[in-house]
Structure 1
Amino acid sequence: MSAPAREQITGLVLAGGRGSRMGGVAKGLQVLHGRPLLAHVLERLQPQVGPLLINANQELERHAQFGWPVIADNNDDYLGPLAGILAGLRACESDWLLCVPCDSPRLPRDLAARLARACTEAQADLAYAVCEGQAQPVFCLLRPHLADSAAQFLAEGGRKLERWQQMQAHCALHFDQPGDAAAFINLNSLSELHGLNPESPENPNHG
């Protein structure tokens, strides 16, 4: 079995959180180096996938200005990233869905390729990243047929994304190449956002 091609993968940017640590603002719309944070993430993700989706639960019209379909969670309770992933799985029309958060502007440029290869080699329905011993479950590639399982998990009160992932036919891929740690940086507060220095072009994953 060969790894899925780019056209077989839909990209999903998860921007549906409350943004509590940023003062309740839409995190992806905050400005980093003169552009919205979401623009940086889309720039990294778009070359790796075919169609794109944005999961957002506030300021939907502003998110739609990026030119891609915007999908909201199926409820108003902010149930966490799995609720956004479920919305993406329901909307996905390709063989795979690649999920990334909106607050990681330096995500690996080969994220899709590496996760797709891992899924193929492990014959798994889902793969997520691990970097420096820390699971990065929001960076994941998964099959749309997992939507029913995700919906049931949420309906039963489950919230922890990694726990649900480990209930599936999954694999965890360790990202330990030079530059990977910097690629998985996430910006949780406005001070982190404003303090992030411009990128160095030294490594192709985050240059």
Structure 2
Amino acid sequence: MTAVNSPRVDAAHEPPLWEHDKGTLTYHSRRALVQLLQGPLIRAQKEPVLWAAIISDEENLRARLHEVFLELVVDETEGFAFTRMVEEDSVSIPQVLRTDKLKHIDTAILLNLRQELGLTLPGERVIVDVEDLRESIGYVRAVDNRDEAGFTKRFNAAMKRIQNDYSLISATETEGRFEVSPVLRQLFDASTVSAIRDEYARLAQTEDQDEQDPEQLQEQEVASDD
């Protein structure tokens, strides 16, 4: 009697999920890969199954992402993972991820939030008050040359973008207070924050001087007529 052998499955590979399936990742690792590609990030607390797949299959996921010029960023302390473009000057890398050009006010808010993160230890929650945040970036008004009503409107719109589109803040149980995502530590380092804030301060000072110059010029002209 001839024995009928079952098809051999490589222990390093997952059995096919459907007919003609050539993939080797587990079901949950595939879902994690899709979510990483869709973005913006995976959080351990909100998506524990996908997070567990990332931790257990990190090297395989990292290899798959490298195939499309993406780097996997994993922070086990804070519990999040996301992808970003590989940075390599010696290789011409195509644009894979969608990039949005931040508005001045978006950048100012994010820099302020990043600074708040820098005042705490990794793992600690950072909660900010929306009114305190709005006042702290008042210098943007000088750069954008906006009145109070226009500035407030732009600020509120920016907060919605940062919360809904970028997932970098989340509402708390207290109205007007938001929790800052620790992923900002990975997006802005301390030197970048300092450099950009200095540039905004310079632009604001230049704007103030430009507004004063016409008056000073008029005074000089009147004085010369006398």
Normalization by structure 2: what TM-score? Answer: 0.25
Give the structure, 1 or 2, with the largest relative contact order (CA under 8 Å, sep 6 or more).
1
Larger CA Rg, structure 1 vs 2: 2
- Bigger fraction of residues in strand: 1
- Bigger fraction of residues in helix: 2
